[in-house]
Amino acid sequence: MSFDITTFHADAVGTPSHEDVSEMRELVLETLRDAGLEPTVDERGSVLASRGTDDGTHVVLNTHVDTVAPHVPYRRDGDTVYGRGSCDAKGPLAALLAAFLRVEPTDGRVTLALTPDEETLMTGAERLQETLSADGYIVGEPTGFDVCIAARGQCEGTITLEGEAGHAASVSADRNPVFGLPNVLEALRAYDDEAGPEPDPVLGSPKLTPTVLAGGEAPNRVPESCRVTFDRRNVPPETSDSFRENLEAFLEFRVPDDLSVSVDLIRPDTPFPDPFVTDEDDRLVQVLQEASGGDVRPFGAATEASFFARDAPTVVFGPGLLADEEGPVAHAEREYVRVSELEAAAEAVEATLESLLG
């Protein structure tokens, strides 16, 4: 089979996958079958295919087939392709798929692992973490050819203040949860200085951001509770679970005694990506950096790479950018990637695989 990276990318970007990935997944499956392979789909909807032998090094190529809403139609202007997913992450997908189909492993195996829900729940990557084992992972995201060796983790949650509900004329200020909000907000501002992890040498400092306030239904009634929603970007060794426990304990000493406070993670039954850092001296990093010519740096967003980094050295790499000098690119109406970048990224990954797998 002759795989045409430009044609596949055009078909992929033209296939909506912001609400349902079925059509996009079938495009990938048909492409792999046309190449003479027998891909499988696991119980979480991830596509898996392998080439090579079980002896030697095992490298996994991972990215996702879903996109954020809304769908933006495919459009090409010269060397530039516009459309939803053009760089996040159907550009990296096309590059990884091209490298996967071109390489002929003689001393090891390469596995393609494509997840269905990176932009939402990340349950696909969580399951692959349980079933895959490798010597290295290349995770496709728009990095501008840089080899990204780290990323901060990300979780979201709510802080609930509870007091006494009743008529605004009768409930005391001490029992009014709304009066407790300044304590919570000041505690969030102080948390990292007083109780958070030290800045990471690669990732820098963590970030804690309140994003939503909610509470109350009528101007003359004190609510029983009010809530602050937060976004957390963490660094090692903090995890989403350890952060929840530590933040709750921190708040308990700063909220008035007449109020109670609790911290809950949003979507506690689905995984959050924890922070990770791969050694920049690892062979995978050095080989891919030499092949791509990019810099070695952290990635600017949370990513499924977090799940794989628990098993083996993991890097994030691909064509396109999260943002350029004009502003956001990935997830934006102007999302784009250059066709020439697709081929260059594919060649870099192919050269890396040839070096690692013989």
Q: Are residues 133 and 170 located together in one domain of the fold?
A: no
Which tens digits make up the pLDDT trace of 84-98?
999 999 999 999 999
State residue 209 phi and psi, 5-degree precision.
Answer: -130, 115
Which tens digits make up the pLDDT trace of 251-310?
999 999 999 999 999 976 678 899 999 999 999 999 999 999 999 999 998 899 999 999
Which tens digits make up the pLDDT trace of 112-155?
999 999 998 899 999 999 999 999 999 999 999 999 999 999 99
Strands 166-167 and 147-151: unpaired
DSSP lists the bridge partners of residue 227 as 160, 214
Whether 218 is in a domain gets the answer yes
pLDDT for 338 beyond 70:
yes
Which tens digits make up the pLDDT trace of 1-51?
589 999 999 999 999 999 999 999 999 999 999 999 999 999 999 999 999
First to last CA, the chain: 22
The amino acid that residue 35 corresponds to is A
Domain count of the chain? 2
Which tens digits make up the pLDDT trace of 169-212?
999 999 999 999 999 999 999 999 999 999 999 999 999 999 99
How far does Cα 30 stand from its chain's mean position?
26
pLDDT at 145: 97
Which tens digits make up the pLDDT trace of 232-248?
999 999 999 999 999 99
Which tens digits make up the pLDDT trace of 340-355?
999 999 999 999 999 9
Q: Are residues 177 and 282 located together in one domain of the fold?
A: no
How many of the other CB atoms lie within 10 Å of CB of 268? 13
Q: Are residues 21 and 147 located together in one domain of the fold?
A: yes
Q: Are residues 192 and 141 located together in one domain of the fold?
A: no
| Whole-number Å distance between alpha carbons of 333 and 356 | 38
Q: Are residues 27 and 67 located together in one domain of the fold?
A: yes
Q: Strand runs (DSSP E) across the chain, as ranges?
A: 40-41, 47-52, 57-64, 75-77, 80-82, 108-115, 136-140, 147-151, 153-162, 166-167, 207-215, 221-222, 225-234, 260-265, 276-277, 296-298, 314-317, 323-324, 327-328, 336-338
Q: Are residues 20 and 140 located together in one domain of the fold?
A: yes
Which tens digits make up the pLDDT trace of 208-235?
999 999 999 999 999 999 999 999 999 9
Q: Whole-structure pTM over 0.85, yes or no?
A: yes
Q: Are residues 99 and 232 located together in one domain of the fold?
A: no
pLDDT at 267: 78
From 232, 265, 298, give the residue that closes a domain.
265
From 209, 239, 265, give the residue that closes a domain.
265
CATH code where residue 179 lies = 3.30.70.360
pLDDT at 1: 55
Q: Give Cα separations from 110 to 28, 39, 350 (angstroms).
A: 17, 13, 11
Residues 6+ apart with CB under 8 A from 343: 5, 95, 98
**Domain span holding position 208:** 153-265
Whether 270 is in a domain gets the answer no
